[in-house]
Amino acid sequence: MGTSPESVDVLLSLQGITKCFGAVEALVDVDLQVRSHEVVAVVGDNAAGKSTLAKIVAGVLSPDAGVVELGGHPVVLPNPAAARAQGVEMVFQDLALCDNLDVTSNLFLGRELRGPFGRDDARMEEIAVQVLDSLASRIPSARTPLRELSAGQRQAVAIARTLIGQPRVVVLDEPTAALSIPQTAEVLIHVQRLRDLGLGVVFISHSMTDVLAVADRVEVLRHGRNHGSFDTATTSQEELIGAMTGARVAPRRLQVV
Amino acid sequence: MVRKAPGSQSSLRAANKALVLQTVQRWGGLTQIELAAATGLSPASVSTIVRDLFAAGVVETATTTRNGRRAQLVTVSRRMGLAVGIQFGRRHVHVVLADFALHPIAEHTLPLPFEHRVDTGLDRATVLMADLLERVGASFDDVAGVGVAVPAPVEAGTGSISVAGVMPGWDGVDIAQTLSKRTGRPVYVDNDANVGALAESALGAGRQVRDVVYVRASYGVSAGVVVSGNVHRGYAGVAGEIGHVMVDPQGRMCRCGNRGCLDTVAGGAALAESVRPVLGSLTLTDVVRRAGDGEPACARVVADAGAQVGAVVAVVAMVVNPQVVVVGGELAETGEVFLGPLRERIGHRVVGNSVAPLEIVPAELGSRAEVMGAMLLALQATEVSVPVSPETAVEVV
Ligand SMILES: Nc1ncnc2c1ncn2[C@@H]1O[C@H](COP(=O)(O)OP(=O)(O)OP(=O)(O)O)[C@@H](O)[C@H]1O
Ligand SMILES: [Mg+2]
Ligand SMILES: [Zn+2]
């Protein structure tokens, strides 16, 4: 579509992604596009293929077929480090944080900064404070041990962790799943902040309320296949649930080009 | 109400005490000098009364600055209770816990879907309120009153929305009663522009004057009218709903059932729709931010909205003759991009008077105006009983 406004700033584009685990077709010919400054929700029933899709974007799994493009160029992401190098960061469903370490150490886990005399703790803490600030987070101090934080704050640390690598695309797999409403409020605000920072966000969730609150667009997966694309400004919860459960055929598959 | 033989010296003092307390309550917090001006009492008697009320634990004082000078700020004692302000927007709910001086103590913002439902909204607000109270070691019992702002006209008697269709799914629900049942506290509900007007006229840009029109331009456009210091709500709470003034007879259908309302050309959805062909899908917040940054398409639609809103506000200004038009809501965050054309259009359409020109100024309380106003609404309606001391039996009702 050349220079139409819809095609500018496409950060991430998946085309025809297929992934099987033995006889299980986790994903079949799936398309997904995410632009700068956009939150795209991916919803679907259990085992619909959401996490598999996320892991392909994050370089944890390799697709059997299909193309992944970042910034308009086809890429191969054999591992998470390769994805990070291309500007893709992910928060996994189980967070993968270390309880006995403080906030700063968790943010830099596996990519500690080094100065002439070893770990550059001062610089890491400085960046940690900046990143927490940019998310408007309510974490008291970058030195607080993780075990002292609430579930919502831990999720905030996991989200902040994605910003250390200065990403273009952030993938969040069910970030509000185990949270109370006040904690959810904070995480949703963080998601909005990521969008405001100009990032593309893939937001996986089971909560239609959360999805419709912060996403610009919702992509429904059903049995590993695209099953409708919805603009959140004009979509009701009932429509989404209908598409997810297959009770109705998705009324319109918006061609996003 | 003063329960003592009228005419006696002590009953006069009691009445003055009640007046001072009511005045502090009404404004949230006033300096002693402002209190004297607002009550008509001499600074010396205000000072004595404040000392008495302080000794009784009813008010607190703190040092502050007004116009660069040190002053004694008088507020109702935190021990007297807490206030909660809740603002329902089209895309979020904002809950603020404050003391009686309206100093925010803790707050939450939760993004909500378009056309969020009343049950979800009230439930979420209650849970957020409980969480804020828990955070400061308080309980629902410590809350004197809850004020709620909604983006629709509200009928004061029933506490429900008085124009069907403006907030789909909220019609026919007694918001005040429902929330009061959940929280066990008194709840007061009003239109967001009305409470915004209340806050701006009591604490913000309209502080110095008695007649104010507050314009709130956001997802919808509405106005709050303050006449002689009081919000004018109208018979069914619809006064100031300028978003539903018809400006284009051939325009789009509006959710209110009418056609070509101001909201359909200058409301958030209309602005987002206008820039879509060149910028793609944006939220109102995106449009506002980009307009503020000088992006030409966004700045253009915001400026044009300013002129269209100005044309309607001019008529309101001719009816009300305010000293000040205070402009708030998200669009006002673009500053002169929105205000400039609005001011110009009003200037062309309002007849000048030789006493003082009509001023059009930005709101001072920003995105807090509505929650602050909601809390003021609750505090003004709350009964604060003053502990009885032997020589001054006073009860403010
Ligand atoms: N590593 C794996 N090995 C074998 N099968 C797998 C593997 N990962 C996923 N699957 C299968 O692929 C399908 C899709 O799983 P996936 O985790 O992507 O679903 P999901 O949409 O994230 O579900 P949930 O909502 O439960 O998180 C499921 O049938 C699952 O059992
Ligand atoms: Mg999953
Ligand atoms: Zn209308």
Specify the CATH number for the domain of residue B102: 3.30.420.40
String of DSSP letters for A75-120: E---SHHHHHHTTEEEE-TT----TTSBHHHHHTTT---EETTEE-
| Cβ of residue A247 closer than 8 Å to a chain B Cβ | no
Same domain (yes/no): B213, B341: yes
Say which CATH number the domain at B57 has.
1.10.10.10
How does pLDDT run across B179-189, given as a tens digit for each residue? 999 999 999 99
**Residue B126 falls within a domain, yes or no?**
yes
- Whether A52 is in the pocket of ligand 1, judged by its Cβ within 6 Å, is yes
Element (H, E) at B40: none
* Bridge partners (DSSP) listed for residue A35: A10
* Closest listed residue to residue B379, CA positions, set B150, B77, B155, B158: B77
Same domain (yes/no): B125, B243: no
Cα B205 off chain centre by: 12
Q: Does domain A5-95+167-245 have CATH number 3.40.50.300?
A: yes
Q: Give the Cα separation of B376 and B96 in Å (integer).
A: 12
Residues of A with Cβ-Cβ distance to B91 under 8 angstroms: 213
Tell me which DSSP letter residue A135 carries.
T
Q: Which of A8, A181, A236 sits opposite B124 (nearest CB)?
A: A181
pTM tops 0.80, yes or no? yes
Range of the domain at B346: 207-364
* pLDDT for the residue numbered B201: 94
Element (H, E) at A156: helix A151-163
pLDDT of B127 strictly over 50: yes
**Residue B340 falls within a domain, yes or no?**
yes
Same domain (yes/no): B214, B342: yes
The pLDDT-based confidence of B2 (bands split at 50, 70, 90) is: very low
- Whether A46 is in the pocket of ligand 1, judged by its Cβ within 6 Å, is yes
pLDDT of A242 strictly over 90: no
Same domain (yes/no): B350, B329: yes
* Closest listed residue to residue B86, CA positions, set B322, B397, B378, B328: B378
- Whether A35 is in the pocket of ligand 1, judged by its Cβ within 6 Å, is no
pLDDT of B4 strictly over 50: no
**Residue B202 falls within a domain, yes or no?**
no
| Three-state secondary-structure class, residue B155 | strand
pLDDT of A143 strictly over 90: no
pLDDT of A249 strictly over 90: no
- Whether A43 is in the pocket of ligand 1, judged by its Cβ within 6 Å, is no
Give how many domains chain B has, as a whole number.
3
Q: What's the gap in Å between the CA of A239 and the closest CA on chain B?
A: 14
How does pLDDT run across B62-119, given as a tens digit for each residue? 887 766 778 888 877 766 678 999 999 999 999 999 887 787 777 899 999 988 989 9
**Residue B182 falls within a domain, yes or no?**
yes
**Residue B111 falls within a domain, yes or no?**
yes
Residue reference for tokens 């998310």: A135
| Cβ of residue A140 closer than 8 Å to a chain B Cβ | no
Query: What's at B344, amino acid-wise?
Result: E
For chain B, give the mean pLDDT: 88
Cβ proximity of B97 and B133 under 8 Å: yes
Q: What's the gap in Å between the CA of B93 and the closest CA on chain A?
A: 10
Q: Give the Cα separation of B95 and B281 in Å (integer).
A: 29
Strands B324-328, B359-362: pairing is: parallel
Same domain (yes/no): B66, B112: no
Same domain (yes/no): B176, B121: yes
Element (H, E) at A237: helix A237-245
Same domain (yes/no): B355, B234: yes
Q: Give the Cα separation of B9 and B12 in Å (integer).
A: 5
Interacting residues of B132 by C-beta distance below 8 A, sequence separation 6+:
B84, B95, B97, B105, B106, B107, B108
The pLDDT-based confidence of B26 (bands split at 50, 70, 90) is: low
The pLDDT-based confidence of B392 (bands split at 50, 70, 90) is: very low
* Bridge partners (DSSP) listed for residue A145: A102
- Whether A57 is in the pocket of ligand 1, judged by its Cβ within 6 Å, is no
Interacting residues of B349 by C-beta distance below 8 A, sequence separation 6+:
B310, B311, B314, B315, B318
Residues of A with Cβ-Cβ distance to B112 under 8 angstroms: 209, 213
Q: Which of A185, A192, A216 sits opposite B281 (nearest CB)?
A: A216
How does pLDDT run across A40-82, given as a tens digit for each residue? 999 999 999 999 999 999 999 999 999 999 999 999 999 999 9
Element (H, E) at B352: none
* Bridge partners (DSSP) listed for residue B61: B74
> Average pLDDT of B272-278?
93
A169-173, strands of its sheet edge to edge: A88-91, A169-173, A200-204, A38-43, A217-222, A225-231
Helix ranges (H only) for chain B are 9-27, 32-39, 43-55, 118-135, 175-183, 192-203, 262-266, 268-279, 284-292, 296-320, 336-349, 369-381
* pLDDT for the residue numbered A248: 54
Mutual angle of helices B192-203 and B9-27, in 10-degree steps = 120
The pLDDT-based confidence of A257 (bands split at 50, 70, 90) is: very low
The pLDDT-based confidence of B394 (bands split at 50, 70, 90) is: very low
**Residue B250 falls within a domain, yes or no?**
yes
Strands A217-222, A225-231: pairing is: antiparallel
* Closest listed residue to residue B193, CA positions, set B218, B223, B164, B168: B223
* pLDDT for the residue numbered A254: 44
**Residue B370 falls within a domain, yes or no?**
no
Q: Give the Cα separation of A231 and B345 in Å (integer).
A: 36
* pLDDT for the residue numbered B383: 65
Same domain (yes/no): B35, B159: no
How does pLDDT run across A148-182, given as a tens digit for each residue? 888 888 888 999 999 998 899 999 999 998 889 99
* pLDDT for the residue numbered A247: 64
Cβ proximity of B261 and B243 under 8 Å: yes
Domain boundaries, chain A: 5-95+167-245
Q: Give the Cα separation of B339 and B313 in Å (integer).
A: 12
Q: Give the Cα separation of B298 and B268 in Å (integer).
A: 12
Q: Give the Cα separation of A21 and B303 in Å (integer).
A: 56
ipTM, two decimals, is 0.87
Same domain (yes/no): B129, B67: no
Q: Which of A181, A214, A231 sits opposite B281 (nearest CB)?
A: A231
Same domain (yes/no): B353, B295: yes
Same domain (yes/no): B231, B188: no
* Closest listed residue to residue B100, CA positions, set B22, B192, B183: B22
* Bridge partners (DSSP) listed for residue B253: B259
Same domain (yes/no): B352, B269: yes
* Bridge partners (DSSP) listed for residue B86: B95, B148
A154: CA distance to ligand 2 center in Å?
19
Task: Test A185 with B128 for CB contact under 8 angstroms.
Answer: yes
* Bridge partners (DSSP) listed for residue B74: B30, B61
**Residue B388 falls within a domain, yes or no?**
yes
- Residue A206 CA: which ligand 1 atom is closest? 25
